[in-house]
Amino acid sequence: MNHKIQSLSGYINEYQESVDQPEKFWNGIAESFHWQKPWDNVLSWESEGPNVKWFENGKLNLTENIFERYLFTHANKTAILWEPNDPNEEGRKISYLELYEMTCQFSNAMTSQGVMKGDRVVIYMPMIPEAAVAMLACARIGAVHSVVFAGFSSSALADRINDCEAKMVLTSDGNFRGSKNIPVKALVDEALEKTTCVEKVIVCKRTKIKVTMVEGRDVWWHDVIKNEAIEHKATVLDSEDLLFILYTSGSTGKPKGVVHSTGGYMVYTYYSFLNVFQYKQNDVFWCTADIGWITGHSYIIYGPLLAGGTTVMFEGIPTFPHPGRFWEIIDKYKVNQFYTAPTAIRALQAKGLEPLEPYKLDSLKVIGSVGEPINEEAWHWYHDNIGKGNCPLVDTWWQTETGGIMISPLAGITPNKPAHASLPLPGIQPIIVDAEGNELKGNNVEGNLCIKFPWPSMIRTTYGDHKRFKETYFTTYPGMYFTGDGVKRDHDGYLRILGRVDDVMNVSGHRMGTAEVENAINEHPNVIESAVVGFPHEIKGQGIYAYVICDLKGLSGEALIDEIKNTVRKIIGPIAKPDVVQIVSGLPKTRSGKIMRRILRKVASKDISNLGDTSTLLNPEVVDQIIKGAKN
C-alpha cells in the first residue's frame, strides 16, 4: 500500500489526476483498505440537498483497518506512546496487539452495558490511552462517539449530551492538567442533572480523587472490563454510517454537531496523514492537540493508526512542570514529526531560548502548525529554533468540518513559504470568490475561500438539523462549500489564509462564536445587552473583547466585570472567558437596530484612525464614549 507522493512533479501530476477524474483517483486509494463489501459508487453528490455519499454501499469497519490489517505484521509495534502530565510518573507504551485487545475488551463491555450500533456515546476524558480505546471501541461496535473537550464546563457538556441524546458517558474520576487535579466526574454529575437521556456512565480511574457513584447508573471502567473477552468481532458498517459527532462553534449561538461518517473519513485521514507529514514506517509522530478537537481525532488517533504508525499522546500542558516540557518529550521519544498550534509556539517563544538548551531535538524531520494563521515571526522562530532550520514546516489549513488537512505544503516536497498554507492536497478544489460569488482566477487575488467539489472526509450534516447544514455552508455561495475564511493567492499561486470573515473568533486555536459568548454574558442578571468581538492578542492570536450594557445594581464596575467573566467560564469554560470587559452606556447601532461590529472591532484593536462611515448610526454619540472608555 503506497500512496505517498515522492516529488513536486509527482504532486502536480497526482493533483491534476484528482481534479480530472476524482472518482478514479479516490477509488484507487480506497481500494487498498479492507472492505467487507466493495462500494457501488465512489461518489454520489447532490448539491441541492446537499447530500453526499462516498463509497456508497461499501461495508467495512474502520478499526479492522487499524487492527486486523496490521496484526500479522505489526503486532508488537508500538501504537501509542503515552506521556503522563507528571514526568516522574512512568509512561506507557502500547503495542498494536495490546491496543487491539483493550479495544475489543472495552467493545464487549460497552455492549454488555447496553450500547448498540447507532447509539451516541459522549466521551469526556483526560488524555489517557483509555480515551483512545473509548473512541476506537465506539468505532468497533458502530456507536457514534462525541468527544467533549474536558476543559468545557458542565453546562457546555450537558448541552452537547442533550443535543445528540447520548445514551452513555465515558469519563474519569479526575484529570491531571499541569498542577491541577480537575474533578471531571463531579462535572459529569452536574451535567447529568440537566439531562435525561444518559443511562450509564463508565468511570476510568486516573487521579484517585473521591467520586460519588450513582447506584445503577455509574460503573467503574476496571469493573466492567473484568470478565470481558479480549476478542471482538467488528460490527459491519455502511460506509456512510456515522463515525462521530464533534461540536464546534459557528456564527450563531448554539454550537453545532459536525457529523463525520466512516468510509470517506477513514480514506482521507490516512491519505492526508501520510502525505503531508511524509510519514515513514517506524517514525514517531506527535500531535500535541487534545482528542476533544478534530486535530486530535484525525492526527492523534485515526490518521496515524490507520497508517500503522506510532503516535504520541501527551496528558499534560506545554509549560508544566517547566517550559521545556515539549522539547523534553521530543528527545525522550525521538519524535520525528511534531505538530502543534501557533499559540503554543508563541507562548514558548516568549520564554526565550533558555528552556531549549538542554535538548537536542535532532530526531525531528518535520514540524507542523495548525489551528490559526501563523504569523511570520512565530514561523521563523519555530523553523529556526525547533526545526533547526532544516525541517520542512507544514502550515496545515483545515477545519472540524473538513475532517482532514486540506491546504498544506507536503513536507520536503512543496517549497516552504513562511505563513502560507500553500497548495491544496490532491482531491481538494479550493476557489476564491468575491462577495457576489464570482470566481477570482489567477494570482494576486484575495477573497473568500470555498471548496467547489466534494472530498471524502467532508461534513455530512449538522446533527439533527440538515437545514442548518445547508444554510451554514452551502447557501452563501450556492452549491459550494463556504469555509468562512478569507484567503489570498499570491504571485506564485500559493495560498495564504487570512482568518475568519464571519462572527467566529479564533482564540488560542480554539474556535469561539461571538454570539455564543454574548449569550453566556447575557445570563448574568445585571446584563442588559452585550456585543463581543475578537482583537489581536500576542499569544492567543485573538483575544475576546466584550462590550456590556448593564445595570450595576449597587455593585462596583470591577466587581461586576469579574462576575461577568466568571459567568462565561461557568457556562462555556475557561477558554471562552473574555480578556476584556468594557461597561458601556450604549452600542453603536444602525437604524435597523443592527450592531455595527466593524466599529467595535476597530476600537478593540486600537485602530480608531479610520472608523469608516458612521453616518448611518442611530446613536453616533456612543462611539466617542466607547473610545474614551476603551480598556486596551
Q: Which residues bind ligand WT7 (CB under 6 A)?
A: 248, 294-295, 369-373, 395-400, 421, 483-485, 497, 499-500, 506, 511
- Least Å from the CB of residue 591 to ligand WT7: 32
**Pairing, β 200-204 against β 168-172:** parallel
CB of 46 to ligand WT7, least distance (A): 25
Minimum separation from the CB atom of position 258 to ligand WT7 (A): 8
Question: What's the N-to-C CA distance of the chain in angstroms?
Answer: 55
Complex with ligand WT7: residue 414 or 506, whichever CB lies closer: 506
Instruction: State which residue, 328 or 502, has the beta carbon closest to ligand WT7.
Output: 502
Q: How far is the CB of 403 from ligand WT7 (least distance, A)?
A: 9
Please write down the long-range contacts of 565-571, taking CB distance under 8 Å and 24 or more positions apart: 567/520, 567/521, 567/523, 567/524, 568/517, 568/520, 568/521, 569/153, 570/153, 570/155, 571/153, 571/155, 571/156, 571/519, 571/520, 571/523
Nearest approach, Cβ of residue 502 and ligand WT7 (Å)? 9
Backbone torsions φ then ψ of 70, nearest 5 degrees: -105, -10
Neighbours of 93 (CB within 10 A): 14
DSSP β-ladder status, 580-583 and 541-550: parallel
Taking the complex as a whole, the smallest distance from the CB of residue 44 to ligand WT7 amounts, in Å, to 26
Q: Among candidates 71, 69, 34, which has minimal Cα distance to 55?
A: 34
Would you say 174 and 209 are in contact if contact means Cβ atoms under 8 Å apart? yes
The residue among 336 and 402 lying less far from ligand WT7, judged by its C-beta, is 402
Length of the chain (residues)? 632
Nearer to ligand WT7, 115 or 544 (CB): 544
Q: How far is the CB of 486 from ligand WT7 (least distance, A)?
A: 9
Residue whose beta carbon is closest to ligand WT7: 400
Question: Cell match 472492505: residue?
Answer: 35
Q: Which is nearer to ligand WT7, 483 or 582 (CB)?
A: 483
How many helices (H) and strands (E) in the chain?
A: 19, 29
For residue 429, which phi and psi values (nearest 5 degrees)? -120, 85
CB of residue 117 to ligand WT7, shortest distance in Å: 27
Cβ 426 to ligand WT7 shortest distance, Å: 18
- The residue (of 326 and 397) whose beta carbon lies closer to ligand WT7 is 397
399 or 567: CB nearest ligand WT7: 399
- Other C-beta atoms lying within 10 Å of the C-beta of residue 476: 18
Rounded to 5 degrees, what are φ and ψ at 112?
Answer: -60, -30
* Closest by CA position to 118, among listed 382, 463, 580, 440: 463
- Nearest one of 422, 284, 317, 308 to 33, comparing CA atoms: 308
369/514 with CB nearer ligand WT7: 369
C-beta closer to ligand WT7: residue 185 or 420: 420
